[in-house]
Amino acid sequence: MSTKIKNKTTTSSRRGFLKKAGLVSAAAIGATAAKAPYVYAASNPIKWRLQTYSGAPLGAHVVLPQIEAFNKAAHGEMEIELFYADQLVPTDELFRAMQAGTIDAVQSDDATMGSPVDISVFGGYFPFATRYSLDVPAMFRYYGLDKIWAEAYGEVDNVTWLSTSAWDPCHLFTVNKKIEKLSDMKGLRVFGVPTAGRFLAQYGLIPVTVPWDDVEVAMQTGELDGVCWCGFTEAYEVGWADICNYALTNSVTGAWFGSYFANSESWNKLSPKLQELFKMSIDQSHYYRQVWYWGGEADLRVNGKKMELTSLPSDEWAGVVSDAGKFWDDVAASSPRSGKVVEAFKLYAETMEKAGYPYR
């Protein structure tokens, strides 16, 4: 009899404890949910639209793997819809569209998308700023470019700079005209990024802007005489090597400065976890390109058969390198912040030269 009473009492006590514990747990969960600033429903994930500077054939390498990996890792909390060059807005309107919230994020260089900052000229191909692709992340990490970029975009409303790293080197590819001396560039209408085009214009090259998807047809119809937009890997990947007959081996610079940006309101709505996940996916993309371009450039220069390779005479090329020094000084004088960037370029180049092989 006493045993039955004891068991009944024990059972009642356990039920009471579980009931109270359940109430406490529910209250705690409710309080946590009320305080949590980042709430989502798996059936209603955060939606972002990201547009890249690149067309679809190139985008399959420089951005698509990243977006697919991010969407998978976000596991229903967030989904990024990817758009290629000019699909939502023209490339030169990317910055304004992102600032307005029409799109949530952008992958581009500063100059091509028309960033209203004094350092935008360094985005894309700045003449002879780099020799190798690793130069870009090294300068951002160890020579203060990360702080300069963050400061510049910190002065712009509703845009957050996230990361910059390297793409491919810059070469001139031409359809019918073989470039064997500087004067051969005169009068050529070429598609390319703004800064490199501005620099090469002094040799008679005519920079022409057309939508990315129209470049191939424009070369076939004669509207364009070539491209100065990329390296060998891209030229082969997107089909331009099928149209261009000649490739100039002299590279205006060793790597493109490409960046990721986000609309600040969209960025600040993300939980710290999603922000970190997106930044990790950016790093993954940087690594993918680093290897893809590095291996591809060497292989296609040696084994690519679609274009005849030419080079400028060494004395003429030395003159081009010398002209770049004046270009650097002119840009450095344009603003104090630009001066800091050029100062970092010079210090980095000096350090690499002193370090010698394998750095230079």
pLDDT of residue 68 exceeding 60: yes
Residue in this structure with the two tokens 């030169």, named with its chain if needed: 92
Question: How many whole angstroms separate alpha carbon 186 and alpha carbon 255?
Answer: 25
Alpha helices in 143-271 (DSSP H): 145-154, 194-200, 215-221, 232-237, 264-268
Which backbone phi and psi does 233 adopt, to 5 degrees? -60, -45
| CATH 3.40.190.170 intervals, the chain | 46-168+256-294, 170-255+304-355
pLDDT digits (tens, 9 = 90+) for 151-188: 999 999 999 999 999 999 999 999 999 999 999 999 99
Question: How many whole angstroms separate alpha carbon 257 and alpha carbon 169?
Answer: 10
Instruction: For residue 260, give the nearest of 92, 61, 63 by alpha carbon.
Output: 63
pLDDT of residue 9 exceeding 70: no
What sign does the dihedral 157-159-164-166 (CA atoms) show? Answer: negative
Using left for φ > 0, alpha for ψ between -120 and 50, and beta otherwise, residue 239 falls in left
Structure tokens at 296: 């591809």
The CATH number of 46-168+256-294, from 3.40.190.170, 3.30.450.20, 3.40.190.10, 3.60.20.10, is 3.40.190.170
Question: How many whole angstroms separate alpha carbon 346 and alpha carbon 304?
Answer: 34
Which H or E run includes 292? Answer: helix 272-303
Q: How far apart are the first and last CA of the chain?
A: 93
122, 342 contact by CB (below 8 A) = no
Residue in this structure with the two tokens 């190139």, named with its chain if needed: 58
pLDDT at 44: 84
pLDDT digits (tens, 9 = 90+) for 79-138: 999 999 999 999 999 999 999 999 999 999 999 999 999 999 999 999 999 999 999 999
The fold of 170-255+304-355 is D-Maltodextrin-Binding Protein; domain 2 (3.40.190)
Q: Which of 27-31, 246-250, 297-301 has the lowest mean pLDDT?
A: 27-31
Question: How many whole angstroms separate alpha carbon 42 and alpha carbon 77?
Answer: 6
CA dihedral 121, 124, 128, 134 (to 10 degrees): 130
Residues in the chain: 360
Structure tokens at 215: 């470049």
Instruction: For residue 335, give the nearest of 161, 194, 152, 213 by alpha carbon.
Output: 152
In the chain, at which residue ranges do the beta strands (DSSP E only) sit? 46-52, 78-83, 105-108, 159-166, 170-174, 189-192, 206-208, 226-230, 246-253, 257-263, 308-310
pLDDT digits (tens, 9 = 90+) for 34-65: 444 555 555 689 999 999 999 999 999 999 99
Q: Which pLDDT band holds residue 193 (cuts at 50, 70, 90)?
A: confident
Q: Which pLDDT band holds residue 33 (cuts at 50, 70, 90)?
A: very low
Which backbone phi and psi does 130 adopt, to 5 degrees? -135, 155
213, 86 contact by CB (below 8 A) = yes
Structure tokens at 93: 């309107």
Q: What is the pTM of this model?
A: 0.86
Mean pLDDT of 315-332: 97
Mean pLDDT of 304-333: 97
Alpha helices in 144-193 (DSSP H): 145-154
CA atoms within 13 A on the CB side of 195: 29
Q: Which pLDDT band holds residue 26 (cuts at 50, 70, 90)?
A: very low
Question: How many whole angstroms separate alpha carbon 276 and alpha carbon 11?
Answer: 48
Instruction: For residue 53, give the nearest of 194, 223, 197 by alpha carbon.
Output: 194
